[in-house]
């Protein structure tokens, strides 16, 4: 079977189940509500709408729009990561990998089909996430009189970089799923790392001198660097060290290549029952 047919087969598997649109709905609700809430809080603080007696978190007005829009990746990256992991671990859990390999004996082609299909799904989720953050975020900022910066080329360049980040996260997820194999293990590991371990490390790095030189190479930090903005700007006081956007993209790509390579060498070529 050719790579084209393998990709078509993987896309059929992905879109013939309810998993993708259920995750997309959760993505919309999660990042949309987060973007709307934080846009209101920071815009109210910057505009003085809360009054002198109840000032909210302070952030320079020019930093609020990119911070709000970047929530698409800063918060939403767990979804393409899960999609990638489930794309592989679902085959192990439901024991459909054997017929997959029978239909596509060349395992490199079978994995390549998943990679291409994952990129397509990642682009779709990027569109969903960006609409969910930019539309409500810009609307609320405008209501408070804060410049939405939608007329700036830099804003749309950031949006374009976030579109690139989503497929990279799917590829990392495919690599993780190939290595771990267990669907429960992969999902628990992804959630634990993205929602607890890395956020805690990055918050601590903002408080401990020199630690951010290390944590800037974590995958979430690299993704934020690629986007060019981060929620951690508003969460952590002071300046934290960050990679250039192109370096963040290369680090994220390196994670994808390493996980996919290790998964192919150590797990994908093993016998399946």
Distance, in Å, from the CA atom of 38 to the CA atom of 129, rounded to the nearest integer, reads 16
The pLDDT-based confidence of 272 (bands split at 50, 70, 90) is: low
Distance, in Å, from the CA atom of 149 to the CA atom of 142, rounded to the nearest integer, reads 10
Chain mean pLDDT for the chain: 89
| Region 158-165 average pLDDT | 97
pLDDT of residue 53: 46
Structure token pair of residue 166: 């989503």
pLDDT of residue 93: 79
| Region 245-256 average pLDDT | 97
Lowest mean pLDDT among 55-64, 151-160, 189-198: 55-64
Q: Which residue has the higher pLDDT, 14 or 78?
A: 78
DSSP secondary structure letter of residue 16: T
Q: How far is CA 121 from the centre of its chain?
A: 12
Distance, in Å, from the CA atom of 229 to the CA atom of 162, rounded to the nearest integer, reads 10
């Amino acid at each position: 079977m050719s790579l084209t047919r393998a990709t078509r087969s993987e896309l059929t598997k992905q879109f013939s189940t309810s998993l993708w649109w259920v995750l997309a709905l959760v993505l919309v609700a999660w990042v949309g509500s987060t973007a709307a809430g934080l846009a209101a809080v920071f815009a109210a603080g910057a505009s003085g709408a809360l009054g002198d007696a109840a000032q909210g978190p302070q952030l320079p007005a020019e930093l609020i729009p990119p911070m709000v829009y970047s929530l698409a990746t800063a918060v939403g990256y767990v979804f393409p990561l899960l999609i990638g992991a489930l794309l592989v671990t679902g085959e192990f859990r439901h024991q459909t990998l054997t017929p997959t390999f029978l239909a596509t004996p060349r395992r490199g082609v079978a994995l390549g089909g998943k990679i291409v299909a994952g990129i397509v799904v990642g682009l779709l989720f990027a569109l969903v996430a960006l609409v969910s953050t930019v539309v409500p975020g810009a609307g609320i900022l405008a209501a408070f009189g804060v410049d939405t910066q939608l007329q700036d080329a830099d804003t749309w360049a950031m949006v374009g970089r976030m579109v690139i980040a989503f497929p990279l996260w799917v590829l990392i997820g495919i690599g993780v799923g190939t290595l771990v194999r267990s669907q429960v293990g992969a999902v628990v590991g992804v959630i634990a790392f993205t929602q607890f371990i890395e956020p805690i490390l990055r918050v601590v790095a903002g408080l401990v001198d020199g630690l951010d030189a290390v944590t800037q190479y974590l995958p979430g930090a690299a993704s934020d660097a690629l986007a060019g903005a981060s929620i951690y700007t508003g969460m952590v006081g002071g300046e934290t060290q960050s990679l250039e956007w192109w370096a963040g993209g290369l680090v994220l790509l390196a994670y994808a290549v390493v996980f996919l390579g290790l998964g192919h060498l150590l797990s994908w070529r093993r016998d399946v029952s």
